[in-house]
Amino acid sequence: MEILGIDVGGSGIKGALVDLETGQFVSERIRMETPDSFAIDQVTATIATLVKAFEYQGAIGIGFPAAVAHGIVLTPPTAHEVPGWVDQSLDDRLSAATDCKVTVLNDADAAGLAEMRFGAGRGVGGVVITVTLGTGVGAGLFMDGMLVPNLEIGKVYLADHSEVVEQYMAGRVKKEQGLKWFEYGERLNEFCLHVEHVFSPQLIIIGGGVSRNHKKFLSANQLIRTKIVPAELRNQAGIVGAAVWAAEAD
C-alpha cells in the first residue's frame, strides 16, 4: 500500500508517497515554502497545491505543529502566534480542499509513529517516549506500540528552572546560547531523568535535527535505568508517520 504523507513545518511543507510495507519513499519528495503568514487559508491552499503535484487520489496523512484531537486543532501552532487555527477541523477543511480523505495529527506524534513502526522503536513493548528536538521540544508517548497523542512535554518545567523545557534544551537552544555538546548533553540528561521518573519508559528515542550528532552528546550511562537511543528515520520520520496514521485510521 502506498499513501501520501505530508509534514507541515515552519519553513517548508513536504510530502512523499510512502510504501507502508517498508516505510520507504516510493516517490520524489516535494517541498513547498510555508506561507510567511501561516494563515489557515494560505496554508490550506499550499497543501492542496502540493497534493495536486502528486496527481494523487487516496488517503492522506498530515503532521501538523499543534495538538490535534480527532482532526481538530487544540492549541496555536508551535512558533506561530497566528489566530484562526484553534477549534478548526483540519480533517474536514483539508479533505474538502484536496478532494481526498485527510487525517491530521501532531507532527511530533507523526515522527514518533514512524520510529515505532520502522525505526528505533520497532518491536519494543511497554512504554516508549520519542523526543523531537528542533525549534521546540516535541514528544510521542506509546504503550505497546499504540500512540497516546498530544504529549506536550515541551511545556513542562524542570525543577529549579524558570523556563519551560523547550526554552532550556530545544535543538535551537544549543546554537542560540553557544552551548558545547557536553553542556547540551547535560541539559538533555536532566530532561531525560525527569521523563524516566514520571513515565518509567522502557526506551527513549531522541530525534530532530540534532540527533545526527548523537555521538557528541549521548553517552551509554546517560540514564540510570532507561535505554536511550538516537532516531533512525530522522528527516523522513514526519512524512512516514503521517502516512502510517492515515493508513491505520483508514
Instruction: Sketch out the chain's domains with CATH numbers.
Output: 2-109+237-249 (3.30.420.40), 122-231 (3.30.420.40)
Query: Residue 191: in which H helix or E strand, if any?
Result: helix 181-199
pLDDT digits (tens, 9 = 90+) for 215-242: 898 875 555 689 999 999 988 999 999 9
pLDDT digits (tens, 9 = 90+) for 120-170: 999 999 999 999 998 889 999 999 999 999 998 988 999 889 999 989 999
Determine the pLDDT at residue 223: 58
Which residues make Cβ contacts (< 8 Å) with residue 109, sequence separation at least 6? 63, 138, 140, 147, 149, 150, 151, 241, 245
